[in-house]
């Protein structure tokens, strides 16, 4: 909600994801944009900049080239864009592994989660700080070993089970944070972390009242934090050798996609159906929207052509048509040529 809008206000959107972006063709065909984008690397520095940039963040690399040439990248908050997002656990993990290992959260995320879990173990189960950290680290270490020695299929199965296990652990964390706030201090770092996380999304929901229903996913997001910032990071780091997209290789045109039924999807499916049924457009709505836009464009072009053909009738005074002098065919053709829009001008507009 806030990141792209903030970058737009500052005048420089750093990354425009290709799945819901529109690019001006003349800007892409600039010699220093597309020519550099497809350039073949010749040394180690160019391999890191060109090849890894296009494998892990090709949209950010393209936007960087556009910004360097003085083009502006804007964010349109009122636009509707439709794309095929991951709908299953395995597909989501395989898609996120491409750039999940390149983020700053690779270091900050897992350490923060382990500290929260260890603190909750100390508060709820009255463990020593050493035993609490050992208990919080063991599942991650076991999953790390599994990712190194097992196949991708086994890794994803274990990741689903481990994500469900961490949902229960996060319930313990919530209880521990509540006890900490009531018995110790409401200004404890763990309590401030949780309140800050909640405050960010509440402010975003207030600023976007038409999308406030998304705040209902806040609880699911909180209990799924270890899955995204711990389990997924370990999976990404252990699969750095795999630079595939993770989702496009298995897509077959003309066949309906079978949705995955994982552990988390079975748990949260009632809540997802309750919220999504009223606020998500189906495929028929998408087709209607596209057809309406197409019909409006065709009618606009037809209206312009009709106005050019009837311009002579509109210019006649309100008298008897028989009393008017005959028109010169050459002048009529010249007038029609002036009022008829050129193809190039229409395309540019």
Token pair 């699911």 is at which residue?
220
Q: Between 176 and 268, where is the model more confident? A: 176
Determine contact, residues 97/228, Cβ cutoff 8 Å.
no
Residue 215 CA, distance from chain mean position: 17
Containing 189, the helix (H) or strand (E) segment is helix 189-207
Q: What number of H helices and E strands is found in the chain?
A: 19, 0
Asked if 237 and 101 count as a contact pair (C-beta separation under 8 A), the reply is: yes
User: Per-residue pLDDT for 111 more than 80?
Assistant: yes
**78-101 average pLDDT score:** 79
The residue-averaged pLDDT of 186-209 equals 86
Q: For 49, which DSSP code?
A: I
Q: What percent of the chain has pLDDT over 90?
A: 17
pLDDT digits over 260-271, tens only? 444 445 554 554
Measured distance CA(344)–CA(342) in Å, rounded: 6
Domains of the chain, residue spans: 2-69, 89-243+282-295
84 CB contacts (<8 Å, ≥6 apart)? none
Q: Which of 99, 12, 200 is nearest to 4 (CA)?
A: 12
10-32: pLDDT as tens digits: 888 888 887 788 889 899 998 88
Structural element, H or E, at residue 51? none
Q: Tell me, what's the pLDDT at 167?
A: 94
Cβ density class 278-301: b for 16+ within 10 Å, e for less: eeeeeeeeeeeeeeeeeeeeeeee
Is pLDDT above 70 for 199? yes
| Token digits of residue 35 | 């020519």
**In sequence order, which ranges of 126-151 are alpha helices (DSSP H)?**
129-149
Task: Give the containing element (helix H, strand E) for 275.
Answer: helix 263-276
At 22 the pLDDT is 87
User: Residue 44 — very low, low, confident or very high, per pLDDT cuts 50/70/90?
Assistant: confident
* pLDDT tens digits, one per residue of 202-258: 888 888 888 888 888 888 888 999 998 899 989 988 887 776 766 655 544 444 444
Q: What is the DSSP letter of 259?
A: P
Token pair 């496009």 in the structure block, residue: 248
| Average pLDDT score, the chain | 74
How far is residue 38 CA from its own chain's centroid? 24
What would you report as the CA-atom Rg of the chain, rounded to the nearest whole angstrom? 29
Averaged pLDDT for residues 118-125:
89
The whole-number pLDDT of residue 200 equals 86
pLDDT digits (tens, 9 = 90+) for 322-334: 444 444 444 444 4
pLDDT of residue 237: 85
Q: How confident is the model at residue 102 (pLDDT cuts 50, 70, 90)?
A: low
| Confidence (pLDDT) at 1 | 58
3-class secondary-structure state, position 39: coil
Task: Name the percent of the chain lying above pLDDT 70.
Answer: 65
> Cβ distance 69 to 33 under 8 Å?
yes
pLDDT in tens, 337-347: 444 443 333 33
Q: What is the pTM of this model?
A: 0.63
In terms of residues, how long is the chain?
349
Residue 6 has what pLDDT?
Answer: 87
Rounded distance between C-alpha atoms, residue 68 and residue 73, angstroms: 11
Nearest Cα to Cα of residue 65 among 36, 40, 29, 41: 36
Region 98-115: what's the mean pLDDT? 72
Residue 103's φ and ψ, nearest 5 degrees, are: -90, 160
- Distance from C-alpha of 137 to C-alpha of 225, rounded to nearest angstrom: 16
């Amino acid at each position: 909600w806030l990141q792209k809008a903030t970058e737009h206000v500052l005048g420089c959107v750093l990354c425009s994801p290709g799945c819901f972006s529109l690019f001006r063709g003349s800007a892409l065909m600039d010699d220093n944009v597309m020519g550099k984008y497809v350039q073949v690397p010749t040394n180690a520095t160019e391999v890191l900049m060109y090849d890894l940039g296009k494998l892990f963040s090709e949209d950010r690399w393209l936007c960087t080239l556009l910004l360097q040439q003085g083009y502006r990248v804007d964010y349109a908050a009122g636009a509707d864009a439709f794309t095929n997002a991951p709908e299953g656990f395995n597909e989501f993990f395989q898609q996120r592994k491409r750039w999940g290992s390149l983020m700053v959260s690779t270091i900050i995320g897992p350490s923060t989660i382990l500290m929260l879990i260890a603190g909750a173990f100390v508060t709820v189960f009255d463990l020593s700080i050493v035993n609490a950290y050992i208990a919080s680290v063991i599942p991650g270490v076991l999953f790390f070993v599994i990712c190194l020695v097992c196949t991708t299929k086994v890794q994803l199965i274990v990741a689903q089970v481990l994500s469900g296990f961490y949902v229960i652990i996060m319930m313990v964390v919530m209880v521990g944070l509540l006890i900490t706030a009531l018995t110790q201090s409401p200004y404890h770092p763990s309590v401030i972390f949780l309140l800050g996380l909640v405050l960010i999304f509440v402010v975003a929901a207030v600023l976007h009242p038409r999308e406030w229903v998304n705040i209902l996913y806040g609880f699911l997001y909180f209990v799924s934090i270890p899955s995204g910032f711990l389990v997924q990071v370990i999976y990404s780091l252990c699969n750095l050798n795999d630079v595939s997209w993770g989702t496009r290789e298995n897509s077959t045109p003309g066949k309906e996609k079978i949705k995955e039924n994982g552990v988390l999807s079975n748990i949260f499916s009632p809540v997802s159906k309750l919220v999504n049924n009223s606020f998500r457009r189906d495929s028929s709505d998408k087709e209607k929207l596209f057809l309406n836009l197409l019909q409006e464009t065709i009618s606009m072009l037809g209206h312009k052509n009709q106005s050019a053909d009837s311009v002579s009738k509109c210019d006649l005074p309100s008298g008897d048509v028989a009393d008017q002098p005959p028109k010169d065919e050459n002048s009529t053709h010249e007038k029609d040529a002036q009022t008829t829009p050129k193809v190039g001008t229409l395309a540019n507009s």
